[in-house]
Structures are given as structure tokens and as C-alpha cells.
Structure 1
Amino acid sequence: MSEREKTIVGISIGDVNGIGPEIILKTFSDSRMLDMCAPVIYGSIDVLQEYKKILHLPDLPLYSISSATDLKRNKVNIIDCFEGKVDLEFGQSTAAAGELAFKSLEKLTDDALASKVDVIVTAPINKRNVSEFYSGFTGHTGYISDRCEKEALMILCSEKMKIAMTTGHISLSKVSSTITTELIIRRIEALHKSLMQDFGIDRPKIAVLGLNPHSGEHGLLGSEEEKVILPAISQVKTKRILAFGPYSSDGFFGSGNYTNFDAILAMYHDQALIPFKTLSFEDGVNYSAGLDFIRTSPDHGTAYEIAGQKLASEASFRQAVYKACDIFSQRKSELTESEEVIS
């Protein structure tokens, strides 16, 4: 791959007291990664140099730049987003780490919206210490969606399954009142569009999960399936979308029925994350569909309990980089084909 063809990958540093910097540097310590993409890490050169020493990576080429437009495509580029020294306190939630994590994400999002990077990959954060610096912060997806003024759809991806969520980071007690027929229709349509546009799947089959035990047992254990979910499935079918369900989660995953579908729509966070992480914890990726740019992340958190111990696996973060580059390539390919048809 030529230097010009490399995908520019913008990366937020995450919580520096967690495993974010470790998994980033471990990923790019494999020189083959620099053959396929040009990384730009938004964070702190001092912090990353310290991690480089801790991880014994003397040959990793870190390069400090002031703007993504100045990047070196054969090096790991760093943009400083924080003035002053950041003291590393492994495994601890600190105000300084929260501030750096947010400033990193803010600058990265600025550059993504300005098309200075091709895709973004976000390292794990602590939502609480970020929210202490930026009031109302509930996570990467919500913040980036607000900045793009778009409704993002969170899709968890691996070789084993793709599963999206109707509701995200909200209390379980609010799920029933939040899901509506209209919301489910939007989620199915967004999932259908992403499967075709981003994953190159023609006529994808989508399974929709129920909300209640045994999908409500015909109203005996809850009415959401009959009153809210089924009408949504019926309506999208009139648009030639192959949606089926609602399925009871236990039987759907226990029987292996999930392997018969291209993707699944769950009703709430843990209904999606529990089966997904059980099957794909090491190589799972979180993809935010429907935004102005491509954003992925690993499917795990800060892992404070192993921070600074050189124990963190970079597998999921590496897969997040791969997935972002793959989707970017898929979109470029579709755009090229469309232009050829027009001409």
C-alpha cells in the first residue's frame, strides 16, 4: 500500500490511568500496522513516552505534531491536547485523567468533522471522571452523536455476530417507557442501511429480540411485543427489509439461532452485551453507525485492576482499528462504483 493510500486513523487516548495507552502502543508496536494505516493519537506525548518506557518499546517511532495535516505516515503521530504534566496513578480515577480524556476526544472530534482524519478509534474512558469535567457526559456515543447532530446506532461486531441496541446507556427501569414503535423502526432501518453500506451485505436478514421473558408469552408476561415491537417489524417489511421476530433472548442464543441472521437488534444494553461479550470478548468491536464519520472502539472498559501491569490484551483495540479501516475501504469502493455508473 502506498503512503497516500493509508487510512488516517485518529485515536483518543482514553483514561491514562486505565489500559488505554497500553493497548494503543502495543497495537502499533507491530510494524505491520503502520503498513496499512497512519495513526494520530490525541493525548499527551509525555504520558505516551512514559508508557513506552514501561512497556519496553524502545523502537516504537513516536512523532509529535501540532496538526493532523503534519502527520508522518510511517510513524505513530501524537497531538498534545493537555497543557502541563499528567501524573499517572494506575487504577485510580482522577480529575486530571478525566480532563485529558475529554480534551482528547474533543480535539479528535473537531478534526474528524473537519475531515483531517479518515476514521476515529476511541480508547476506554471513565464516564464519571469525564462528567466531572464536562457536565452531562454519558459516553463517547452520546457526545459524538450530539456533535454530529445525528442519531448514532451502536453495533457490536465480531466474526460471530453483529448486534445493535434499541436503547443504550439508560437505566433498565426506563427501557420499557423509552422503546416505541417509531424508535424501533428507526433502529431497524439504520441497521439495515449500515449492513449494506458499511459491511457490503445485500438483502441482510435482521432478527429482532423481544423485551420480556419468553417474548411476553402472548401478553401474559408483558405487552410490549404485541403492542410495540411487532408493529415495527410489520412496518419495515413493507419497505422490503427482512426483519423477523420478536425472539425470546434465551432460546435465540441458546439454540444458536443467531447464526442464521446477518445482525440482531436488542431492546436494551445488557441484552446485547452479555451474549456478545460471552462469545467475542477478545475480538469484539463497537461501531457507531449513522455518523458523519466512521467511529469504532474496543468492547471493554478501562480495566483499572490491571492498569500499569503490562497485562492488557490489545486484541480488541487492534480489531477496532481493522474494522474502521475496512468500513472506510468499503465506503470508498462503493463511492468509486457509483461514480463509474454515473460516468
Structure 2
Amino acid sequence: MTKKAENVIVGISIGDLNGIGSEVILKTFEDTRMLEFCTPVIFGNVKVLSFIKKTMDLSCNLHGIDQLDQMVVGKINVLNIWKESVNVDFGKNDETIGKYAVKSFTEAVAALKDKKIDVLVTAPINKYNIQSEDFKFPGHTDYLDQELQGDALMLMVQDKLRVGLFTDHIPVNEVSAHLTEALIRKKLLTINKTLKQDFGLSKPKIAVLGVNPHSGDGGVIGTEDDKVVKPALKKLFEEGVYVFGPFSADSFFGSGQYEKYDAVIAAYHDQGLIPFKTLAFGGGVNYTAGLEGIRTSPDHGTAYDIAGKGIADFNSFKEAVYLALDIFQAREEYNELTKNPLKIKEKQL
């Protein structure tokens, strides 16, 4: 049975307290209409967030709880996952603050695994100060891939613009070695399923960008596109997955070609993220596709340079909440349709 909107529980990890994460979280839910769409639970500490709220002169009311079963619909719930006081020093890179960011994130992920929350929205972390003997991950995505079933794929989303990656946080000189037919196949099957399950597209079309300039120019500028990418795409297309390319990346976005496809997959991080953030910065969302749990985040970082000044734009975080809720509903509908194949045929007609 589909949940009522206000009963969908959005777990929120606080990110780096010295950055803008808490500010954009509180600004998002300062608008009480947001509480008609979901029930937020912030994994942190109500005293710390009250201090930040006062510093930013925000008017939202926080409801501190010590257990998830104490949450109240229609309130901004703050789950106290630590009791000690924390020194917030806006704009400072602090290892101690990094530990609290990890604690918030890992406890929220555990709640997502246990289905105590419905979706997870993560505020930005500092990838350097979160590192420790207990947490050795370059970011949120890799940890989620370990903890949740499925194959994680970074998918940047703004409305109908969706950009995914074959490889994400690895050096450019290692991209070619990672880019195998097996990886390409796995990622494209993941994105194909995601577009159907999470975005309601019955026959999604996926564009793939070439690895090399001009997709290798027939082998003159590298052989990866001809020897690795094209064979993988050909096999998948023959199996009924609508994949196209590889396309020359330099003109693909500027010419508007991306508008013809439901998703675009880039070979490496900057090849996909530079055009995406150019087109969508401030309103884009990072979605970890391919997992059994739903996690989104804003498309920006900790922004230490403006932290504590009360001027952070919260639109991307708000859009991350909206997208998480949309995907939750889409999956509910998809699961209902898969129980009744006749409904799928009716939807496709």
C-alpha cells in the first residue's frame, strides 16, 4: 500500500558541520509546506543544529528525539546520535568534524538498510577529513555500494538531463585500464533498469560518449572506442537495450544532442560533470542509482568560503529531497506494475 506523502521518512545526514550543509538543510525545511511532502529526520544533534539555526537567524522549529520511533509527523525531527558538545568553526577543515560527518552518514545508512527510513539525502562532506582507520572511502558512493545491494552508479539529474559515469573518482590516467567491456555492460544495464524503475521510462534511450577525442577517429587517436566501447554497445543493442554511440564528447552537449536521449553516460568524471554543472549548476542532484536504497545529494560541496554567512543557496538540496521522493513513488508504482504484467502493457500503449 502506497504511503501518504507526509509519512514518507526522509533521513538526512548532516555532512560537514563547518560547511554549508546544515544551513541548506534548515533553509529547505524552514518552509513548512515541505512537511506536507515528507517527514524529515536529521541524524545529528539538536543542540548543534539549534546553534546553527540561531546563527543563521532561521525560524524553523526542531524536534529532538533519541530514538527513531519517537519521530513525529509534521515536525523537523533531529535524532541525537551523540550527546557531547561540538565546536562548530565555519569554514575550517577539521578532522573532528569529519568524524561526526561519518557518524551521521553511517547511522543514516544503517537506518536505510533496516528500512527505518524510506530515503536518504546526504549533505556535503569533506573527502579529506572523513578518512580514518574505520572509514577509508573516497566518498558517499563507495560506502553505499558496499553497504547496499546492487551496483552503484553516479547519476547527475536535473529534470530530463541525466548524466552518468562509467568511472568516477579515479585518476584520468587510470580510466582506460578500468574501462572494460564487462564494466560498460554492467553500468549500462544498471542505468537501463534505473530509467525504467526510478524514472518511469518504458523504453529508455541511452547515449554513450567516446573515451578519446572524436571517439578515436577510427583508431588514429586511441583504440578504446573501437575495440572496447563499440563491441559492448553492439551486443547490448542486439539484446534490446537502446544504447547509442560512442559520440564525440566535445560537441555533444553544445549541439543539443543530449536532448534526444533519456540519459548520457560519460567515460570519466570531468567528461560528464563539467557539461552537467555548466547546464544545471545550483539545481542539479547527485543520485546513487543501481542500489536497493534511494540516496540523493546536492550537486555542490562544503563551500567553506561562504559557510556561516547565511548566504548559501539551498535549491540543490531541496531538489535532492524532491528527487528522492519522486523516485520513492516511482519505485512503488514500478513494483506494483511488475506484480501485474497487464498494467505494464497498458502503460506502454
TM-score clears 0.5: yes
Change (3 A) 1:29 1:142: same
Change (3 A) 1:151 1:4: closer
Counterpart residue number, 2:157: 157
2:16 counterpart of 1:15: yes
The CA distance in 2 between the partners of 1:170 and 1:48, in whole Å, is: 34
Structure 2 unmatched ranges of 5 or more:
344-349
The CA distance in 1 between the partners of 2:225 and 2:195, in whole Å, is: 24
The one-letter code matched in structure 2 to 1:47 is V
Counterpart residue number, 1:167: 167
Counterpart residue number, 2:230: 230
Provide runs of 4+ in structure 1 moved above 3 Å: 1-5, 132-135, 337-343
**Number of residue-to-residue matches in the alignment:** 342
The CA distance in 1 between the partners of 2:14 and 2:181, in whole Å, is: 38
Contact residue 56 and residue 309 of structure 2 kept, 8 A? no
Counterpart residue number, 1:139: 139
Contact residue 81 and residue 100 of structure 1 kept, 8 A? no
Identity of matched residues, % = 45
Structure 1 unmatched ranges of 5 or more:
none
The one-letter code matched in structure 2 to 1:42 is F
Contact residue 6 and residue 35 of structure 2 kept, 8 A? no
SS in 2 for 1:16: coil
Contact residue 185 and residue 236 of structure 2 kept, 8 A? yes
Shift of 1:133: 6.1
Counterpart residue number, 2:68: 68
2:325 counterpart of 1:332: no
SS in 1 for 2:292: coil
The CA distance in 2 between the partners of 1:271 and 1:42, in whole Å, is: 34
The CA distance in 2 between the partners of 1:237 and 1:22, in whole Å, is: 46
SS in 2 for 1:79: strand
Residues 187-226 of structure 1 correspond to what in structure 2 (within 5 A)?
187-226=187-226
Query: TM-score, structure 1 length as denominator?
Result: 0.96
The one-letter code matched in structure 1 to 2:165 is M
Shift of 1:341: 5.6
**Bigger Cα displacement from structure 2, 123-132 vs 144-153:** 144-153
The CA distance in 2 between the partners of 1:241 and 1:54, in whole Å, is: 52
The CA distance in 2 between the partners of 1:294 and 1:160, in whole Å, is: 19
Change (3 A) 1:2 1:224: closer
Change (3 A) 1:106 1:226: same
SS in 1 for 2:193: helix
The one-letter code matched in structure 1 to 2:50 is Q
The CA distance in 2 between the partners of 1:272 and 1:46, in whole Å, is: 40
Cα-to-partner distance string for 1:41-62 (whole Å, 9 max, x where unaligned)? 001212100111012123x121
The CA distance in 2 between the partners of 1:122 and 1:252, in whole Å, is: 31
Change (3 A) 1:257 1:136: same
Change (3 A) 1:340 1:160: closer
Counterpart residue number, 1:44: 45
Contact residue 5 and residue 38 of structure 2 kept, 8 A? no
Shift of 1:6: 2.6
Query: TM-score, structure 2 length as denominator?
Result: 0.94
SS in 2 for 1:131: coil
